[in-house]
Amino acid sequence: MNYNQAEQRVKELRKFYKGIFWFAIILGFVFLDDIFEKGVFDFSLFDGSIILGIWAVILTVKAVKLFVFDSEWEKSVMEKKMKKTKEPINF
């Protein structure tokens, strides 16, 4: 990984962590609002906002992209494909 790729990855991670932070804050407000309206023992976890559900799905997709399908994964897949064709790999 060169400097530009590392810098881009750090920026993406920072945006992801900021998104998680804001999601947690908003989720906390919604959760506390439900507790104050319905009481401690009479609230439903799935009674929240549809926007929070969509936001959670987006954050999950970003997490998979950042942590599962990163540049190392791309490099290993490329190496496997190149080995199948038996051509030399020049990185």
Question: Which tens digits make up the pLDDT trace of 55-79?
Answer: 899 999 999 988 887 777 777 777 7
Question: In which band, very low, low, confident or very high, does the pLDDT at 47 lie, cut at 50, 70 and 90?
Answer: low
Residue 52 has pLDDT above 90, yes or no: no
pTM: 0.67
- Least confident range from 14-18, 29-33, 36-40: namely 36-40
Asked if residues 29 and 48 have their Cβ atoms less than 8 Å apart, the reply is no
Tokens describing residue 15: 């945006």
Tokens describing residue 85: 């064709």
| Domains held by the chain: number | 1
Domain that holds residue 26: 7-85
Domain annotation covers residue 1: no
Domain annotation covers residue 44: yes
In 3D space, the residue among 30, 6, 29, 26 whose CA is nearest the CA of residue 18 turns out to be 26
Domain annotation covers residue 80: yes
Domain annotation covers residue 81: yes
Domain annotation covers residue 90: no
